Amino acid sequence: MARSARTARRKAMREVPRSIAGLRARLAATPLPGAEAARADRARRMLDAWLGTAERHGVPYRDAVRAMATGEVARQVAGALLAETMRDPPPIVTEAACAAGCAFCCILDGPDGGTITEAEARALHSALAPLAGHPDGRDWHPQACPALDPETRTCRAYDARPLLCRSFLSRDADACRVNAEGGAAEGAGLLGAHLDYLAIHALSRETLVGLVKVSTFALREIAAASVEGASCDTALARARHTPRVLDDTRRGTARAASAASRPRRAGRDAASGPEGENRN
Ligand code: SF4
Ligand code: SF4
């Protein structure tokens, strides 16, 4: 970072904002470490546009901070980008093999299963808590997401599923099966909106340093705790990531997106092909 930018960043971080205008000034001086300049600039523009709209509509400062901290802003912006992608879908969408009951992508990698925001974690808990005690995805496959219905292999939290799930698709269901079994087949990936989502949430966190804590959560753990009857607070506590997970996820996903394609084995967070990038 250039000296003048460092000075501006220090000055912005010293001043505690009292308004959305103050937040926007902070955002303007906040870098996103480890991100490509173009990705960081794009995330900053979109976050600033959200804040500008909130300001014009008289959204209280505290509500704007909370929306940034919980990931609601990232969810709204990336959701709009996804909707735009679907209006003029790229080949990865039109040629996707995805169908109800095809659930190899819901067999989650590792203990984490994917990075989600607080807003998404709370929504998943609300959707799954009433299903506590019912058979869940692990009755079909030991590594399956607990939100999955083991009989129909459809998502029992469909309307509340996180952006990670909404962004993941594949041209080849058999490649997904191979990858779920530990192989390295090509064909599956994340739409580019997911990269924006991660960048916007990470930039929100950088902007809010010293104001409020911003966390991310493990999809598998939230779903498991929810279907096991844990309260929302307990589920969040069980699933809370250390701060570096968001940065690791963001960097891993960006690296994967710059490659021609990546195998599913690296995890859904890291499976991103350039074919799925937004074209806007
Ligand atoms: S991503 Fe793969 S496993 Fe998931 S629905 Fe699409 S084709 Fe099926
Ligand atoms: S939340 Fe739903 S779509 Fe996402 S991994 Fe779990 S079962 Fe699959």
The predicted-structure confidence for 255-268, as pLDDT tens digits, reads as follows: 877 653 433 333 46
Average pLDDT score, the chain: 89
Directed axis angle between helix 61-70 and helix 118-128, to 10°? Answer: 70
Determine which residue's CA is closest to atom 2 belonging to ligand 2. Answer: 155
- Pocket of ligand 2 contains residue 161 by CB under 6 Å: yes
Q: What is the pLDDT of residues 176-214, one digit of tens each?
A: 999 999 888 888 888 989 999 999 999 999 999 999 999
Average pLDDT on 209-229 reads 97
Average pLDDT on 84-93 reads 92
Q: Measured in angstroms, how far is the CA atom of residue 154 from the centroid of ligand 1?
A: 11
The distance between the two most distant Cα atoms of the chain, rounded to a whole number of Å, is 59
Q: Measured in angstroms, how far is the CA atom of residue 156 from the centroid of ligand 2?
A: 8
Does the ipTM exceed 0.95?
yes
- Pocket of ligand 2 contains residue 166 by CB under 6 Å: no
Q: Measured in angstroms, how far is the CA atom of residue 163 from the centroid of ligand 1?
A: 15
Q: How far is CA 8 from the centre of its chain?
A: 29
Determine which residue's CA is closest to atom 4 belonging to ligand 2. Answer: 165
Answer whether 141's CB lies under 8 Å from 181's CB: no
pLDDT given for residue 24 in this prediction = 97
Strand spans (E) along the chain: 115-117, 168-170, 188-190, 216-218
Q: Where are the alpha helices (H) located in the chain, listed in sequence order? A: 3-14, 20-28, 37-56, 61-70, 72-87, 91-94, 118-128, 163-167, 173-180, 193-207, 219-227, 232-239, 244-258
Would you tell me how many other CB atoms lie within 10 Å of the CB of residue 210?
A: 8
Ligand nearest to the CA of 108: 2
- Pocket of ligand 2 contains residue 157 by CB under 6 Å: yes
- Rounded to whole angstroms, the Cα distance separating 40 from 206 reads 12
pLDDT given for residue 216 in this prediction = 97
Q: Check whether 13 has a pLDDT greater than 60.
A: yes
- Pocket of ligand 1 contains residue 140 by CB under 6 Å: no
Q: What is the pLDDT of residues 106-142, one digit of tens each?
A: 999 878 899 999 999 999 999 999 999 999 999 999 9
- Pocket of ligand 2 contains residue 218 by CB under 6 Å: no
Q: Which two tokens stand for residue 45?
A: 């523009």
Determine which residue's CA is closest to atom 1 belonging to ligand 1. Answer: 169
* 226 SS3 class: helix
- Pocket of ligand 1 contains residue 131 by CB under 6 Å: no
Atom of ligand 1 nearest to the CA of 98: 6
Atom of ligand 1 nearest to the CA of 104: 3
Sign of the torsion angle spanned by Cα atoms 40, 41, 45, 46: negative
